[in-house]
Structure formats: C-alpha cells, structure tokens
Amino acid sequence: MPSASPLYTYSSVYTEPQTPYVLSGEIRNNETDCIRSTSTANSVSSNNHNNITNSNHHCPGSNANLYNMDLKNGNGFSGTSEYDPVKYLSAMAEQSLTGNFTRSLFSSSCGNRDSHSTSGNMYTNIEHYDRGAFSSLSSSSSIASSSPPLSPASSCFAYPNTSDPGSSNDFLTNDNASYHVTSQTNPNQPSNFLRNDSPFGQSSTSSNQSIVGFTESRTACKKSYPSCPSEQALLDSDRLLSWTRHHPENWSSSDVLDWIFFVAQERGLDMQDFRGENFQNLTGAQLCQMGLGDFTQLEPRFGRIIYEMLKNLLCGVSFRKPLEPDQMSTQCEPMSPFSSSPCPPTKSRSSLQGYSHTSYHGVETDVNSNGIAQNETSFFKQEKCTNLQSDIDITSYDFDLDDTPCLASSQCSDQYQNEYGMYPMQYPPQDTPPMRTPCCYPTPPFTAQLPRRRPGRPRVKGLIEEERATKDKKVKNQHLWEFIYETLMNPAYNPQFLRWENQRDGVFRFVQSEAVAQLWGGRKNNENMTYEKLSRAMRHYYRRGILERVEGRRLVYKFSLKAMERVRENRHH
DNA sequence: CTAAGGTTTCCTGTTT
DNA sequence: GAAACAGGAAACCTTA
C-alpha cells in the first residue's frame, strides 16, 4: 500500500525513520489519523532498535550512560530527594519563559555548585540535561501550556493539551497556565541509544558502553558531559521533528504544532506574543489549504511568517516515497554523495504512486493514491512557488555547505528585521566543514538547503574519501571562535548550551559552559577540556581582536566586528 | 627541521 | 567560599 506519508529527502545520510512518531500528546488525539498509522506501517518496523550499534562515532567524554544511570537513581534530578513532576514541569515552563531553572526546586547532584549565571539561579548542568531526558523518567510526559516551546533540541515543546482526560495530571502553576502531564509510559523505550537515522546524526551509543565517570578538576567537581545532548533528548527531539518526515499535507495536528513551534523557535519569534496554540486543531491538510488571511487571523503578528515558511517549505524540498529494501537495490543507482536521494526523482516518480514529489525548486507532480494529479489541490502549489527566493528563507543549519545551494535571501533580513524586530538566522561560514566528529553535531532533520546533485560524473570513491579526510582535518583544526559561532548557529545547542544575547552585535552567552567545553573537547579529541581552559583560549582572542570584552557580565562574550565580518565573508564565499 | 599560529595547561591573583 | 575572570608562561600540536 502506498504511503500516505512520503518522506522528505533531505539528506543522503538521513535514512528512513524507523520509529513511528509517538508524541506524548498522541493519547490526547484519538484522531489517530490514518496518516500516522500509515506512516507507522510504512516504517520498516516500529521501535526497531536494531540500528543500535556501538558506533564508531563515539563521543569522547560522552557520559550518556552515566547520565541515564543517574536518572534512574534519581541522582540526576535531586540526589536522594524525590522527583516531583509538577515542580519539575513548573520549572521547565519557567525555564522556557525565562531561560532559568529555579534552583530551589532541586538540590545539586554533584555536591558542588555549578552556577552559570550571576544570579545563581541557572540550574546545574547535569540537571539541565535532564530536561531532555525528562521524558524517559517521567514516562513521556508532555507539557501543555501556553508558554513558548523550548528548542526542538531541548525536546520540550509545550502547547495546550486539553483532550486527554485520562492518565494525566492537570495542574496549575503560579502563572495560572494550565499544565497537563501525561503518565503514559513506554517501557520499551531504551534509554541509551541513538538511531542512526536520528536527525542528530549518526552517532549511536549502546547501553553497555563504558561509563565515563566524573573527572576531578582542579577547581570544581567537573561533571562529565556528553559531547552531545543526551540520547534521550535526541530521541525526543527526533520525535518532535516527526513533521520532517511527512509531506505537510500529511501532517497530523501534532506535527502541525511541532512545526509551528519549530518555526517560532527558528525565526526567533517573540514568544510573549506568539499564539502558536491557535493552530492546535489543524491538520496538515487544513494548514495547506489556508491562505495568508487565515494565518494572520490565527496568529496576527507572526501569521505571515508562518504562512511564508510553509509556502517555502512546500517549495523547497523533495519528497520521495520510501522504498522497500528490494526496491532500493533494484531501482537505485549507486548512491552519489551529491544526490539527495538514493533514487533519482524521475525514477521514483514514474514508478511510485501515493506520494508527492516536489522538485527542489518547484512543484512538479503530485500523485495521489489513485494516480490522479493533484497539483492544484493546494494553493501553495498553484502559486508554483514563485516566491521561493522571496522575503523569507527557510532557515536551516547547513553543516555540509559544499553541496548545498544557498536559498538564503539577503532581502529577507531587513524586511523582517524591521517588521518583527528580529534578526534572521545567520548561517555558518560557507567554508565550515561538516560535522563528522564524534561529538555528533546534529544534522538537522530538515533543511530546505537540500544538496543538489552536482553536474557531471560523480567522483570516484578515492576522491570522496580524500575529501572527507580533508574535511575531518578541517573539523579537527577548526578554530575555537569558529566552533563557538557554529555552535551558536546550531539549534541543538542554542539556546541549550549557548545563546545569542544580541546576534546582530555578536554578543553571546554561555548557558552551560562546561557542556560547551566538553563539546569543544570532543571536537579536539580532548576529554580533559574544561570551561576554564576554553575560556583561557577565548581570552587570547581579546588581544587578537576576535573577541571583545563584555565588562561586568559573566559568561558573556562578544565577537568583534572583524570576526563577524570574517564569518559573513566566509559565508559569502 | 624549523618557525609560526593556535591553542592547552598550569598557575596566581582578582572580581563577582 | 566558589565560580568566573584575567593574564603570564610554557608546553604542545599542526601546518607551511
């Protein structure tokens, strides 16, 4: 049976998802739409964890096991104190609003203070990580609130949830927002693995990997940070990015919400005003039928942005039906590193029905399950995507820029800056090498900057490997300040680890300084990296004019104009 | 082999 | 008292 949920083809390394989208809010949706079920059926196997491997992409210093172990023991949260989901969710909600955890809710897991803010209320690192792993402990809890969502990477999107009367705890917090906690459990959910099709890359750890213990540091109890967000966090992120695996018209209402908040996050919309929850009852099909007016009616201030993003989304990506394994072998041409799909569109289009294929730069053909062309079913497609290069670019975090055409439009910047008082995301420098390091920089689950097949004959293997080796070398020899910038541009780490204070001026702040240090250490194959050392290296940049001092503010740095220009220049090239 | 650049490590002292 | 900051000094690593 043809899939009703065609997959995006956004990366040659991103394989077909094998875990059905199970948003914790799913229980509230008895609509359990055919989309989801077909998508599940279409998956190779639900919860198939066979891909769990002791990947070579080991994260040095990674401590996911310890991390999860702590969770199980309750240490990750509060030592011997009991875990209180209400308090925890309240803190999370607060954190989502303020960026700060309330320290008083928890006790330190390390015994040493690990304050990262001058106010002292920034939660400790380990516990902060637990935010991502929270769902594993609280059993796929979902927050429902009117508060803005957290980063997709932080795996804590939040939106109102009202239709699940069972297995839930509704409660009120001091901001009078109604929260909703489900108590669904998923005993089958392993705590220590990464699917190799995770949107966060191919790093995998198995639960029997060695545990990296805490390391003594001269000045503090140095916590062992995973070089990447916790596996559970990544899994949750993956789940929350389920919409990336379906054509928008096939999105469930959960997908719609996830996407809406993803957009909000990506565009840096003002969450105080953002009314994403108004989209909560819409399916993807309905969304695609909506006009600009509908969007602005639901979300007066940012509706246009969402409208444009959806439009561009529909224009800028390719979809393909996932192939059966035997089809893969018989239909596919040898995989080219420059092609975004294992199969050329023409082939898959001609042989498969029930999915839509959208060309990179425009709509080509839409075929429903009856083989009827559906080009005109959505007004977006009727517009033939003339606005592809228009005022909004689909923000993406491009980590392999060699193969990616740039859709970013310089026009968008000023307009949106003026209209919405915000600044568009900047891209990493064009010469930024891809993330191939063990610290597993996440590959974004969806990018509109799809790699386009280069003209001509694909390179021979040796050259490819050579290229890869060169890139690996580049990664390893990447400068710290470039790494910092890149991390800032990475939604998996911004705002969780680092965040912009003022992106235009290049002012940023370490949120989890030690975690960033561990990331940096992972990049440099140095497990002993600490924030202390990293900051020393940062201070060298003052003299070299790459960073400027930000007086009186701890953990805050500022890229110099020179550095920012260099980054932009690199991007330009 | 050498020099240079860019950290990394260690350290002491200061500020928050 | 602890974390963060500041900066000197030397070691280390990579590249040219």
Query: Which nucleotide lies at the shortest CA–C1' distance from A476?
Result: C14
In this structure, the dihedral spanned by the alpha carbons of residues A282, A288, A294 and A297, taken in order and rounded to 10 degrees, is 50
pLDDT of residue A377: 33
A270 touches strand B (CB under 7 A): no
* Model confidence pLDDT, tens digit, residues A525-558: 888 899 999 999 999 999 899 999 998 899 999 9
Nucleotides of B under 7 A from a protein CB: 6-11, 16
Q: How far apart are CA A17 and CA A494, in angstroms?
A: 25
- Rounded to the nearest 5 percent, the helix, strand and coil shares of chain A are 40, 10, 55
| A231 burial level (CB within 10 Å; 0-12, 13-18, 19+) | buried
CA of A474 to C1' of C15 (A): 12
| A272 burial level (CB within 10 Å; 0-12, 13-18, 19+) | exposed
CA of A552 to C1' of B3 (A): 38
A520 touches strand B (CB under 7 A): yes
A219 touches strand C (CB under 7 A): yes
Q: How far apart are CA A366 and CA A216, in angstroms?
A: 59
CA of A569 to C1' of B16 (A): 37
A534 touches strand B (CB under 7 A): yes
A108 touches strand C (CB under 7 A): no
CA of A427 to C1' of C9 (A): 37
A114 touches strand C (CB under 7 A): yes
Q: How far apart are CA A2 and CA A39, in angstroms?
A: 10
- Within residues 111-170 of protein chain A, the ones with CB less than 7 A from nucleic strand B are 118
A562 touches strand B (CB under 7 A): no
A529 touches strand B (CB under 7 A): yes
pLDDT of residue A564: 87
- Within residues 100-119 of protein chain A, the ones with CB less than 7 A from nucleic strand B are 118
A115 touches strand C (CB under 7 A): yes
pLDDT of residue A231: 43
Q: How far apart are CA A148 and CA A275, in angstroms?
A: 9
A211 touches strand B (CB under 7 A): no
Q: How far apart are CA A513 and CA A213, in angstroms?
A: 19
CA of A377 to C1' of B2 (A): 69
CA of A220 to C1' of B8 (A): 18
A532 touches strand B (CB under 7 A): yes
CA of A485 to C1' of C3 (A): 24
Closest CA-bearing residue to C1' of B8: A533
CA of A487 to C1' of B14 (A): 30
CA of A549 to C1' of C12 (A): 27
A473 touches strand C (CB under 7 A): yes
- Within residues 458-497 of protein chain A, the ones with CB less than 7 A from nucleic strand B are 479-481
A566 touches strand B (CB under 7 A): no
Query: Which nucleotide lies at the shortest CA–C1' distance from A532?
Result: C4
pLDDT of residue A472: 66
The list of chain A residues with pLDDT below 50 reads: 1-236, 317-454, 458-459
CA of A65 to C1' of C13 (A): 31
Q: How far apart are CA A392 and CA A306, in angstroms?
A: 10
CA of A97 to C1' of B7 (A): 37
Nucleotides of C under 7 A from a protein CB: 2-9, 14-15
A549 touches strand C (CB under 7 A): yes
pLDDT of residue A250: 79
Q: How far apart are CA A401 and CA A175, in angstroms?
A: 43
CA of A40 to C1' of B7 (A): 49
* Model confidence pLDDT, tens digit, residues A155-201: 332 333 333 333 333 322 333 333 232 333 333 333 332 222 332 22
A513 touches strand C (CB under 7 A): yes
Token digits of residue A212: 């990296």
Closest CA to A65 of A188, A156, A190: A190
Token digits of residue A358: 């959208």
Centroid of chain to Cα A371: 34
CA distances from A125 to A108, A116, A276, A277, A517 (A): 10, 9, 29, 30, 12
A479 touches strand C (CB under 7 A): no
pLDDT of residue A315: 64
pLDDT of residue A313: 75
Residue A346: count of CB within 10 angstroms of its CB: 10
